[in-house]
Structure 1
Amino acid sequence: MENHEVSLERSLTLSHLVLFGLAYLAPMIVFGIYGTVAQVTHGLEASAYLVALIAMFFTAYSYTQMVKAYPVAGSAYTYTRKSLNAHLGFMVGWATLLDYVFIPMAIWLIGAAYLNAAFPPIPTWLWILSFIIITTIINILGIKLSTKVNFIMMVFQFLVIALFVALSIKSVLGGAGAGTLLSITPFVHSHASFSFVLAGASIACYSFLGFDAISTFTEETRRPEKTIPKAIMLTTIIGGAIFIVSTYFTHLAHPAFNNFKDIDSAGFEIAKQIGGNLFSAIFLAGIIIAQFASGISAQASASRLLYAMGRDAVLPKKIFGYLHPKFKTPVFNIMIVSIIGLLALKLNVTTSTSFINFGAFIAFTLVNVSVVAHFYLKGGKRSGKDHIFYLLFPVLGCCFDFWLLVNLDKNALVLGGSWAAVGFIYLLFLTKMFKRQPPEMHFDHIDEAV
């Protein structure tokens, strides 16, 4: 099918971008993985999110600098390819593909776990299949959520979060849980070590995935050189604040980190504890709406990335570069993502989120390295504050990201390493054993594929 060039309108403002970034983060995911983070950290949930925020802050700053250097779509792949090396850029693109293609799987798994907790007679596998089938049909037909619907859904999520925190406070003031609103136990206590915090932070970073996606809207944003960096930093900081505050009060309402019927649906158990059946129903609705909307967006985004790679012959064009003649959607890619989503039938939340974070940490690490290479080494910015902004900050971000990478779940490291190995072998094939440059991916107009 012939694709026509389109002219992108610069209409997005700072508020639009922050709203998009927060919608992509899906703030209620903090409750979706709360049980996993609580168990891994031995009750230091807030501390894990604080460490994750620090790591993401420095990485977000590096994204703001690279957006200024390369104000085009493509994000980590483009930054690495242009600043470091084309072959290394391909590997970062391959790692990014891991995020995009497997995120829908984790979203469907979390949503299914909560529905199973609310309706035990219905098996989890049936909920997973239902999520996959409904989402796939919607994406094949080309139906997209409008900005207005996204806004309504975001407002609903914020209301549910606010209610959850308010009911947690009410519960604690009533003598339940920790019995006090001022406590350091969500951050530090004698029964848990910092290694638990790192392990938890490596999972908690899943909640932040999406702040980097703002950079893909560079060509549609007014004054992108100023607006995009502000939006990235605001999304990261606001998201981090929501996660830390939410986990702090949730811990106070339910301090026992190992006292859940099912850690994958711990948030639902606590919601019922602090607000009864009525609030647990509202909470479940919030989780499912967030997961469903996020699943539609994630599957659509993954299929678009695969389409871009197929169109540019990075992947076989006949399959990955195909658009349905009637629906004008990458049908094969949507189906591939849905088939990969079936892995949710065999994985748990801990492994699936850690697996996705493997690709994210690889990309984040290389974006930090790209800042040093582009500005400090090649650009010669080495005077005054330059040492802080173009060397110290990105090096700190790089160290934090790599640190979190090696603290991932062991199964995730094995799966992620295997994915990287497959990518390297494929790179050898594409480049005839490094005798030529890998094909360059173009992301500027992939919106037309959806």
Structure 2
Amino acid sequence: MPTPALSVPRQMLRRRPVRGAPVADGSSNHLRRRLGGFQLTMFGVGATVGAGIFFVFPEAVPQAGPAVVVSFVMAGAAAGLAAMCYAELASAVPISGSAYSYAYATLGEFVAVVVGACLLLEYGVSTAAVSVGWSQYLSKLSLNVFGVSVPQAISSAPWESDGGVVNLPAIILVAICAALLIGGTSESAKVNAVMVVIKLGVLLMFAVIASTAFRADRFSDFTPFGFSGISWAAGTIFFSYVGLDAVSTAGEEVKDPQHTIPRAIMAALLIVTGVYVVVAVAAMGSQPWQNFEGQNAGLAVIVDNITGNRVGSTVLVAGAVISIFSVTLVTMYGQTRILFAMGRDGLLPATLAKVNSRTGTPVTNTVIVAVVVAILAGLVPLQRLAEMVSIGALTAFIVVSVAVVVLRVREPDLPRGFKVPGYPITPVLSAAACGWILYSLHWYTWIAFTGWVAVALTFYLVWGRRHSALNGGQNGGTAMAQAHVRS
């Protein structure tokens, strides 16, 4: 590896070319384009609907009360503004890596590393959190069908109050998803599309059943904890919208990405927002808000209480078990593609960007992701995971919003299949909305996040900057990097 010709500050500011960027020695240059618009839209819906709506209520409702409906809308509005920014950048920079790659092309290597760390945190912790929630619903399904729930010792984390040892169902789910992803992207997308259709049908069934017990007076004490409670809940709920980012991680595996990716992002946003609002209103009107605290598999419990039998809740739980599976599958997919992009750029070991010649998938990094996520899912309680997802996602969303403006200024003639409406107001509002929710997160979340970013930056300064593909790799990387620093 040649010694970098640039000083450390200039290394940190260099940008990855939008076209014709060098790649690290030993990595694959690209992935196979196999996905169409419908499959990609289902990726966005699959990664989003389920992550929050099935099991975030016990965490968010005690913070905001009935006003949690506003928290859902608030988080959705911030995600919607960011989604439009993602759509523009995805059409202009149609490569794997999502916000990491956009930051690298616009704001430089140092910021890209920070965003990459945020995304790895977002996807890794999100996958673990969803796996924990899946375990709760699996236990409920076992109780309904067989009359026996999964023992607490093997279905709960050690630090939970119920005496858990390890969350084995969550670990098994991660292993199954890893096997599907290793088998092929197109195959995984087909499985996901089927599960998304089941998921939407189950949630529609819940809304219909819950509406039979709807009482408007349950919204009378609408904001028991004031506006701060709404903000806190929005920060917790925001992790249920981060799946929209997963659409842009597939930049190199989509046919006609300049047009397909923006359409898929916006379609997924509309579907997700509509489903969340309908289900949230139905749930809050079906029982007192105080009942949500500690109510694992809450939607199924609500159906039980309304119908007085387990038929409806058994269908709901079975649908949740199937559909939450799709969230785990797509969020794990997103993390493997972030690792692929960073490995190809040389900021992580190139082995993470090696693609299997038969399946066209990065097998090594998928196995690594599965092991790390399985450890988190098996040993860390759900409530300690949700906000860590939000803080990583919000930071990435802010950077994407800023990157839209930067790329418009630096490369105004770059072909774009989609442009943010209301520019530059929209990206500014997106950054401000995400920053506001970010500010409302708890202090201990900030401490953990700061520690994680510090580790990532230390790794970059010690190892990553010395191995960057822009140091003088296959395509004249040093000269290219110097040109981009000067510009």
TM band (smaller chain): 0.7 to 0.9
Q: 1:436 to 1:212 in 2, by over 3 A?
A: closer
Q: Which residue of 2 aligns with 1:90?
A: 113
Q: How does 1:262-277 map to 2 (within 5 A)?
A: 262-275=294-307, 276-277=309-310
SS in 1 for 2:219: coil
Q: Which residue of 2 aligns with 1:139?
A: 178
Contact 2:69/2:281, CA 8 A, preserved across alignment: yes
Write the distance in 1 (CA, Å) between the matches of 2:328 and 2:34: 27
Amino acid of the structure 2 residue aligned with 1:272 = D
* 1:357 corresponds to which of 390, 394, 398: 390
Write the distance in 2 (CA, Å) between the matches of 1:94 and 1:266: 32
Displacement, 1:329?
5.9
1:176-195 Cα distance to aligned partner (Å, 9 max, x none): xx2x4xx7939x82523111
**Within the alignment, does 1:347 sit opposite 2:380 as a pair?**
yes
Write the distance in 1 (CA, Å) between the matches of 2:27 and 2:62: 49
Q: Which residue of 1 aligns with 2:202?
A: 160
**Within the alignment, does 1:130 sit opposite 2:163 as a pair?**
no
Displacement, 1:132?
1.3
Q: Which residue of 2 aligns with 1:175?
A: none
Contact 1:48/1:198, CA 8 A, preserved across alignment: yes
Amino acid of the structure 1 residue aligned with 2:317 = L
* 1:150 corresponds to which of 192, 199, 204: 192
In structure 1, list runs of 5 or more residues that go unmatched.
Answer: 173-177, 441-450
Q: 1:339 to 1:77 in 2, by over 3 A?
A: closer
* 1:185 corresponds to which of 219, 224, 232: 219
* 2:230 corresponds to which of 189, 197, 222: 197
Write the distance in 2 (CA, Å) between the matches of 1:130 and 1:352: 17
Amino acid of the structure 2 residue aligned with 1:161 = L
Contact 1:375/1:390, CA 8 A, preserved across alignment: no
Q: 1:226 to 1:94 in 2, by over 3 A?
A: same
Q: Which residue of 1 aligns with 2:74?
A: 51
Q: Which residue of 1 aligns with 2:101?
A: 78
Contact 1:168/1:274, CA 8 A, preserved across alignment: yes
In structure 2, list runs of 5 or more residues that go unmatched.
Answer: 1-24, 157-166, 474-487
TM-score, reference length from structure 2: 0.76
SS in 1 for 2:406: helix
1:66-101 Cα distance to aligned partner (Å, 9 max, x none): 223323332211211111222111211111111222
Contact 2:346/2:464, CA 8 A, preserved across alignment: no
Write the distance in 1 (CA, Å) between the matches of 2:89 and 2:327: 27
Q: 1:249 to 1:332 in 2, by over 3 A?
A: closer
Contact 1:113/1:124, CA 8 A, preserved across alignment: no
* 2:90 corresponds to which of 41, 57, 67: 67
Q: 1:436 to 1:369 in 2, by over 3 A?
A: same
Displacement, 1:344?
3.5
**Within the alignment, does 1:110 sit opposite 2:133 as a pair?**
yes
Q: 1:365 to 1:34 in 2, by over 3 A?
A: same
Displacement, 1:407?
1.6
Aligned-residue sequence identity (percent) comes to 23
Q: How does 1:214-225 map to 2 (within 5 A)?
A: 214-225=247-258
Q: 1:83 to 1:332 in 2, by over 3 A?
A: closer
Contact 2:62/2:293, CA 8 A, preserved across alignment: no
Displacement, 1:317?
4.5
Contact 2:398/2:435, CA 8 A, preserved across alignment: yes
RMSD of equivalent CA atoms:
3.6
Q: Which residue of 1 aligns with 2:44?
A: 21
Q: 1:48 to 1:313 in 2, by over 3 A?
A: same
Q: Which residue of 2 aligns with 1:448?
A: none
Count how many residue pairs are aligned between Structure 1 and Structure 2.
424
* 2:323 corresponds to which of 284, 290, 298: 290
Contact 2:243/2:331, CA 8 A, preserved across alignment: no
Q: Which residue of 2 aligns with 1:99?
A: 122
Larger deviation, residues 267-276 vs 197-206: 267-276
Contact 1:264/1:349, CA 8 A, preserved across alignment: no
Q: 1:223 to 1:104 in 2, by over 3 A?
A: closer
